[in-house]
Amino acid sequence: MVMAVSLQARCVFLGAPGAGKGTQAKRVAAAASVAHISTGDMLRQEVAAGTPLGRAAKEFMDAGKLVPDEVIISMVQERIRQPDARAAWILDGFPRTLPQAEALDRNLPREAALTHVIYFAVPEAALVGRLSGRRSCSRCGAIWHVEHQPTRREGICDRCDGELLQRSDDRPEAIGKRLEVYRSQTAPLLAYYRDHQVLREVDANRPPDVVYQELLKLMQ
Ligand code: AP5
């Protein structure tokens, strides 16, 4: 059962691949009825639909590289203008370069500026195990883990009985590249948002329920 909470946050979840941004963003967004804008999920939908954008993005994603800024920025600009994102949203996986962060600042009206940027702190040693054991539901998108968040029946989603799949970028070669890209291109955003005085940090190397409760406190 989802316990309803009230949040009027316009928030970025920032952190390395596997830090738990998607797991928590889905839960907070469902509890608070705010829009969950995941650029990774949006791109995977384009890939699954075989659109030109999806075909172009797949090569970058499978190699663990970032999709070019101009593609991502216009995709997010369009999404954030949708009616469900008018009051509150969680951006999960965006921005992840300085040009993306600057574009977000430029495009938000003053009365709808960012309220929080939450950094999910997890030691790198824990990330590889999280990514290689992750399984995602092909039907409802729920995120599981073979050890940390197992389903009752192996390979089957507890929520909707959908088939669980491993993401193509959760292979060892792609994981290494994604962590390298995070260090060089996304980690510098911590200093950017610290300077803008909106950065908060959550110790995300604890059980998901503990992280969730702390997030609610930080965002309220
Ligand atoms: P994206 O889908 O955004 O991937 P990511 O940022 O690398 O993050 P992940 O989804 O891997 O991790 P997460 O932090 O959401 O962790 P999760 O909750 O799943 O992007 C994919 C690709 O798309 C990019 O590589 C790039 O190519 C492209 N892209 C996307 N956005 C882009 C952008 N803005 N610019 C350019 N390119 C872009 O958890 C991971 C696992 O850990 C799960 O199995 C979960 O069950 C488990 N877990 C979660 N929390 C805990 C916990 N507290 N304890 C133990 N296990 C936990």
Structure tokens at 83: 């009616």
Instruction: Average the pLDDT over 80-89 and give the result.
Output: 91
Structure tokens at 202: 């959550």
Annotation says 65 is catalytic: no
In a domain, 132, yes or no: no
- Mean of the per-residue pLDDT values for the chain? 94
State pLDDT tens for residues 124-164: 999 999 999 999 999 999 999 999 999 999 999 999 999 99
Considering 167, 171, 177, 200, which one is annotated as catalytic?
167
Task: Tell me phi and psi for residue 13, to 5 degrees.
Answer: -100, 115
- Distance (Å) from CA 101 to ligand 1 centroid: 18
CA distance 71 to 113: 22
In a domain, 183, yes or no: yes
CA distance 13 to 24: 9
In a domain, 194, yes or no: yes
For the chain, the domain total comes to: 1
State pLDDT tens for residues 10-30: 999 999 999 999 999 999 999
- Distance (Å) from CA 57 to ligand 1 centroid: 16
- Distance (Å) from CA 220 to ligand 1 centroid: 24
* Angle of CA points 129, 17, 153, to nearest 5°: 50
What's residue 6's pLDDT?
Answer: 72
What's residue 133's pLDDT?
Answer: 95
Here the CATH number for the domain that contains residue 15 is 3.40.50.300
Considering 10, 58, 96, 130, which one is annotated as catalytic?
96
State pLDDT tens for residues 91-129: 999 999 999 999 999 998 888 889 999 999 999 999 999
Q: Which domain holds residue 115?
A: 10-123+176-218
In a domain, 24, yes or no: yes
Annotation says 167 is catalytic: yes
